[in-house]
Structure 1
């Protein structure tokens, strides 16, 4: 791809960030609408979990396929297709006659969303070739998550209160269409010089692993062990089959050699942990603010600002720090702040006081604001440009899988704790184990970030990049 002018690169970054905005905004807006959905459809906790996880699971399952497909047939082509499908899915969600159809249409949205964020990150990686410029661009990218957190609850609260929950999906229509027109006009086409083959077996195994594992977690509080056990066994079988099958393909869906790089493996674990914390945090907070405190959707949205604003402010700062000093400091700050937030709720029931609730939200927002840039930068830095799409897709998959698992685990713990007790009375004690889990996620970010960001880790990344750039003659030919 020819070198673009600075102004053109900035425009490409803005277009790519727009795709992240509508996908992230959709999640934060939906969280505010969960109590409205619960009232209208008399939904259980597990049904609310599926309205979130149906989207994130499909997204996680297809991200790597979308990344490799974009590398093969063209990143702009896949990106524009994703915008069309995502926008269409949003319209269908607004027309859903019941909760089951809403879950189905959320899955349609996710098919489009899978073609957006990892492909957009691949476009950014290929557009910003200078490491410092790339780190700053990724910092801006991360700040968009903060914008969605700040705008999502407020926009969602206003729309749910004034028009109804269906209107939260309408906002994707004008934004999606504008992004589509700008993409076709200003984003140059790019693709990998050596296209990768499709891996249908690997794709099926990934979908089986993610889907069966999440189903088992969500349904565990309500179903008997014989009903859940087969799905746990299926997830384990799919994982073992992936570990056996993928290394034997010449062009696998998941190149397990990536994980020989300690920073890349660390970025994957960090992404799962951080976004599990985010998914659980939003799920708990939304239900608590509206169902326990009795706040309106708009008031609950305003209460989310102490988390959203620090995320927005810290993300670009994190990007600059990654560009100038590396990922270690942002990861340590992120892990420390997220751990402190979880402990504040787990040990001191922070939600029962306005002051501690505010402080807990601020700490989580600071931590999450610092975590995104080092994850993304570490995942794609050092990887061959030809595999940028796949590498960024693995990082994006880790994020979505983490968020799905966070909602599944926290929702399951909450459902088991609430039981037959009145929801408002039982919520705070039932949520305490969930807050311990979120504190553990923050601690994982802290420890893994410390271990995988030093000189030893950098050496493993260099060795891995050299192996990826060289052919591996011992591999069997790819199955056709």
Structure 2
């Protein structure tokens, strides 16, 4: 079945211009639905960070509880991305996309109704599952809708820019909602956005041909979820319970055993969730590692600065959202510019320059995070934001351009999973470095946290410089002609 607006209807238009307009409108609406998906997924990262102090006050939670509110979402998001990509390849991205949107709407409603931190964390896990279904399918929809190489580069830039917009406006919007109505509103606002996106996709996105041979790797999915769950438990409980506590030791044992079993099973599965041979391609492997390192630095520091502003500098949620605006606004602007830069200079150059700018921005914050003022770090936030805004679309192009057409959904899942795992580790690591949400702990913990993030970015830049092609002016059309 063909979407009602995306391709010509049964009755042929009388004028060529009308036909062209119908096709163009359908493509634009398909892109809009994909962008709306990325908006709400990113929104629920940026907005929740602004709400952390409100959650701690209402539920008397510890920093470990706050990490779980952020990382519970990230955990299921990362754990199910690969299966979601394979489901998109198997059944077509449109069906998976709509299912994920509806699930995300339901989970958001339940988050807003949660009566305890335990209930909120459980609903955040469900939200992450919806996000996992939506994101790789949204990129696959962009892929199939824009087969021409330069149009695809621009569309991916807009897709990434929609996430940048959510980052830019989400903290301010969320801070205003929290100040006016309380933290629950930040979840309720997702519901109409998700329902609108699913309706547009149902009407306007083309049904891609399914890959009949692909099957869902249930053992692989279960082991991946166990491995990531054990890893997350160990990382977060180190701060709360100590390195030798049963929770930490048990979590690491689950991670190691499940991880080893996952690799062994994936090597011998006829249709593995994660085809390990893809990592034999250096561009694919490099992009995955860069995704981990960039998100370690970025999301780890977003989590930490959200608490730092509110506890060390006594900012309100709205003040905190406004404090992030220079960084997040520059991310959105750089996302919009990135498509043209990749067409002209190639993704390797854009990626490495972006990572270098992000590292420079964070490095120049070091003298001011103790007794400094916001005016001392505002420009640095802009520089770091421009760097992140250039790096993420370039990283995405590097990944998809190195992958065969039949593995596009899996590639999207791997890239997003690697980024979410990086963010998960970053949040846990920053919580461990600071230890507790007091002004005194922030005074001593911010500088080491920045240094860890700068180191991760430096390694990511080196991996990009050595692991990616010297010049790739546009993504390869034949590899990305469909999903």
TM-score if structure 2 supplies the norm length? 0.90
Contact 1:350 1:356 survives alignment (8 Å):
no
Q: CA deviation at 1:395?
A: 0.8
Q: Cα deviations across residues 96-130 of structure 1 (Å, max 9, x unaligned)? A: 00111000111111121111011110111122112
Listed one character per residue, the Cα deviations across residues 419-470 of structure 1 (whole Å, up to 9, x for unaligned) are xxx8112312122221111111211221111112235x98xx99xx8xxxxx
1:26-57 CA deviation, whole Å, 9 max, x = no partner?
A: 21111110011111111111100000000010
Alignment of 1:30-429 (within 5 A): 30-224=48-242, 225-227=244-246, 228-346=248-366, 349=369, 352-415=372-435, 418=436, 423-429=438-444
Asked if 1:22 corresponds to 2:6, the answer is: no
Distance across 1 between alignment mates of 2:322 and 2:421: 28
Q: CA deviation at 1:84?
A: 0.8
Question: Do the aligned residues in 1 keep the contact of 2:434 with 2:444 (CA within 8 Å)?
Answer: no
Deviating more after overlay: 56-65 vs 187-196: 187-196
- What SS does structure 2 have at the residue aligned with 1:165? coil
Tell me if the contact between 2:75 and 2:421 (Cα under 8 Å) persists in the aligned partners: yes
**SS in structure 2 of the partner of residue 140 of structure 1:** helix
Distance across 1 between alignment mates of 2:361 and 2:224 = 33
Contact residue 263 and residue 453 of structure 1 kept, 8 A = yes
Distance across 2 between alignment mates of 1:199 and 1:375:
27
In 2: Cα distance, 1:381 partner to 1:452 partner: 14
Alpha-carbon shift at residue 148 of structure 1 (Å):
0.6
Give the Cα–Cα distance (whole angstroms) in 2 for the partners of residues 379 and 446 of structure 1.
15
Which deviates the most, 309-318 or 217-226?
Answer: 217-226
Q: Indicate how the Cα distance of structure 1 residues 345 and 387 shifts in structure 2: closer, same or farther if over 3 A, else same.
A: same
- SS of the aligned residue for 2:214 comes to coil
3-state DSSP of counterpart to 1:246:
helix
1:477 match: none
Q: Distance in 2 between matches of 1:191 and 1:221?
A: 48
Q: Given that residues 351 and 391 in structure 2 are in contact (C-alpha distance below 8 angstroms), is that contact kept between their aligned partners in structure 1?
A: yes
> In the alignment, is the contact (CA less than 8 A) between 2:112 and 2:184 conserved in 1?
yes
C-alpha separation between the residues in 1 aligned to 2:469 and 2:396? 17
| Per-residue deviation, 1:398 | 1.1
Q: 2: distance between equivalents of 1:236 and 1:193?
A: 33
Distance in 2 between residues matched to 1:351 and 1:402, nearest whole Å = 29
Q: Distance in 2 between matches of 1:218 and 1:156?
A: 25
Helix, strand or coil at the partner of 2:364: helix
What is the CA distance between 1:345 and its match in structure 2?
3.4
| Runs of 4+ deviating beyond 3 Å | 1-4, 191-195, 345-351
Partners of 2:204 and 2:463 lie apart in 1 by: 39
Give the Cα separation in 1 of the matches to 2:150 and 2:186: 37
CA distance in 2, matches of 1:442, 1:127: 33
| Residue in structure 1 matched with residue 466 of structure 2 by the alignment | 451
* Count of residue pairs brought into register by the alignment: 455
Name the CA distance, whole Å, in 1 between partners of 2:126 and 2:268: 32
In the alignment, is residue 432 of structure 1 matched against residue 432 of structure 2? no
Aligned residue for 2:177, secondary structure, equals helix
C-alpha displacement of 1:158: 0.6
Where structure 1 has 5 or more consecutive residues not aligned to the other structure, the ranges are 466-480
| Separation (CA, whole Å) in 1 of partners of 2:273 and 2:258 | 14
Identify if the C-alpha distance between structure 1 residues 212 and 122 changes in structure 2 by more than 3 Å, giving closer, same or farther: same
Q: Secondary structure of 1:454's match?
A: coil
Backbone CA RMSD of aligned residues: 2.0
Once the two structures are TM-superposed, the CA of residue 250 in structure 1 deviates from its matched residue by: 1.7
8 Å contact kept, 2:157–2:335: yes
Q: Distance in 2 between matches of 1:29 and 1:248?
A: 42
Structure 2 contact 284–402 (Cα < 8 Å) conserved:
no
Return the offset for 1:254.
0.3
3-state SS of 1:129 partner: coil
TM-score, length basis structure 1: 0.90
Q: Which whole-Å CA distance do the structure 2 matches of 1:450 and 1:192 have between them?
A: 36
Rounded to whole Å, the distance in 2 between the matches of 1:112 and 1:397 is 14
Could you tell me which runs of 5 or more consecutive residues in structure 2 were left unpaired when the two chains were aligned. Answer: 8-22
Q: Secondary structure at the match of 2:61?
A: coil
- Tell me the secondary structure at the aligned position of residue 184 of structure 2: helix
Which secondary structure does the structure 2 equivalent of 1:220 belong to? helix
Structure 1 residue 383: deviation in Å? Answer: 2.1
Using the alignment, how far apart are the partners of 1:266 and 1:191 within structure 2? Answer: 30
